[in-house]
Structure 1
Amino acid sequence: MDTQQNTALTRALAEVPGPLPTSGVIHITLPHTDRFTVVGNHLAQHPDLSCTAVGLAVRIQSLPQGTEVSIKALTARCQEGERRIAAALRELEAHGYLQRFRDRLPGQKVITRTVFCNQPAALLRPRSHAPVAAPAQAPIPAPAPAPAPARSLTHVPDPDPDPDPASVPPVPPTPPVPVPPGTSAQETPVPPSPPPFVPLVPPPTAPKPPRPPLPQPGTLTPELDRAATALLSDLRRHAPQFTLSEGDIRQLAPAVATWLERDAHPDTIRRTLTDDLPQPLRHPVKLLKHRLTALLPPPLPGACDLSAPARPRVVVTPFQTCDDCDRAFRSPDPGHCRDCRETREHRDEDVRAAA
């Protein structure tokens, strides 16, 4: 009886569309009408920023222009101490969200300016430049318009709606455009236009790439077809959203058979298809097609693929013993060492010379 129950939150929870997840957070999203700040997921889910730095960035982003955001001013506003706030500001500086620099005012006074950017990655993108067309001829100077009288509630008719053409002064002829010497009018150089701007994000009307086809097994045997059909029919026991029709099961069965052909366990396939579902799930069959195609595992490697590569054989020349001096030397065949061979050659030359 001492625990207070939030009945408003319970009523809002009952109005959440679709089945509730069995674990994790449940979002109750109500639209803001005033006093709100738009925060990007690149900041709210930044993998390298601490929660203190993210919260401090959101606090600074929600403050109006010109608010003091020094360490002492933030310490007075927040519950964290000066050390944690200083460390969080250094994190934001390291990732480009915050920049602090000194500026000298005209009165020789030096102040510290703090600049906060809610999306620093957008500053690194190339900016577009509108192409400027070269004029074909000099424009005619238009006469300065007379100041318009104050508008009144009564309608004043035009005193001369159709003036006489003879009374209109003639327009002076347009002076010709000067052409550099050595070039003709047809060869007048035109300044090059800047390259066209290519948007980073395609427009909504851009044609979408075709979806990849569903995977097909090498051989759809009756056993694989029966196992795939049974697995798809059993999905509604684990996730009621996947109550599939017979036509959907026949369409998805070859893709599931491909997974089974690649030795994927049925429990692994079931968890891959039913875990972490979007809320609400509007198109179950499209989600199954996407996961069966994008998350398809590769075939298991064979025994030959897992064996270590054979090392190159190194041929070692054996040791031999010289027949004359009994010295050891490397040679594929027995005989004499190098010194003994040279001695024998000199001796034979001397014998031939003496003869």
Structure 2
Amino acid sequence: MDTQQNTALTRALAEVPGPLPTSGVIHISLPHTDRFTVVGNHLAQHPDLSCTAVGIAVRIQSLPQGAKVGIKALAAHCREGEKRIAAALRELEAHGYLRRVRDRLPSGRIITRTVFCNRPAALLHPRRPAGAPPQPAKPEPAPAQAPMQEPAPVPAPAPVQEPAPAPVPAPMQEPAPLPASAPVPMQEPAPVQEPAPVPVCHPTAAPPAPELPVAPVAPPAPSAPLFVPRVPPPTAPKAPRRPLPQPGELTPELDRAATAFLSDLHRHTPQFTLSEDDVRRLVPGVAAWLERAVRPDSIRRTLTDDPPQPLKHPAKLLAHRLTELLPPAPPGVDDLAALDRPRPRFTVTPFQTCDDCDRAFRSPTPGHCRDCRETRAAYAQAAA
């Protein structure tokens, strides 16, 4: 009595047609009568959409016309956060299920409409407008046949007293048989004329029709996508990571110093406790920094400053910072000599004071300014 048995489930399993599988899911399909939404397998089993995106698409498809489907509105009714919902909407937008279009109202206001299509692949094919009569299917061209011959004229039966039955309408292109009840007129001098045999058309008797040259049908041009996403989806391939920097020559001194630096890192920052394999993998990167004349305390401060919380993979963080924050190589002897090289010196003409007007002017030797020299020259010329 302590074990409860679900008799309803047992009865439902008994009604499943066919033998039950030994593994995998067993479907108990009960028909819906109200509050249900039809979802295509192209969405439910989409190979490139995440389960979050499929669930968000099903929820949007089940909402009525005009319902709010923004990130804030969906986050208010779903357990997923706004970031996951935004990523799922970007996936649906990249695969054509969701589209945001801008429209201008008659008042001049521009609004953004969110359009959800349950079958985006059907938009790529031309559709018949609503209310238009369906176009008849074009019949396939039948093989050419010889024209059917008209049946020979049959003499009309003589009028009799009794009313003759109504003639039966002739079927498609076939001559109507003579009514059995109609008597054939008899003439004394001539024998009874029998109706001429009706020729029967056989398709095989017709000569083969000449084959017309068939123009080659060009393959359909690939249809352009509905739109190009501006933000790459989360499933887009990422760029390959840059390799760990390597020293020019991993000498025993550099290897020993880099190993000691990584092994002693946990004493200064307990979060960066590395395994032996992580130390051996990161030794070339630290050796490249030491080769570039960077002090160990500067390396420790650069690698361990402001780590993310919580820090799940310290070795990956160290590898990333060793690669992205690698300082430039120190300048060589020639570069330093170029810095110590004396710069070219320019000769500056000093200021002098004029002996007559005390005006300042530039001249290598003391004397008179230009105006005073011209005045003196004029006086000397006038005196002469």
Instruction: Note whether the superposition's TM-score is higher than 0.5.
Output: no
What's the TM-score bracket when you normalise by the shorter of the two chains?
A: 0.3 to 0.5
Normalised to the residue count of structure 2, the TM-score between the two structures is 0.33
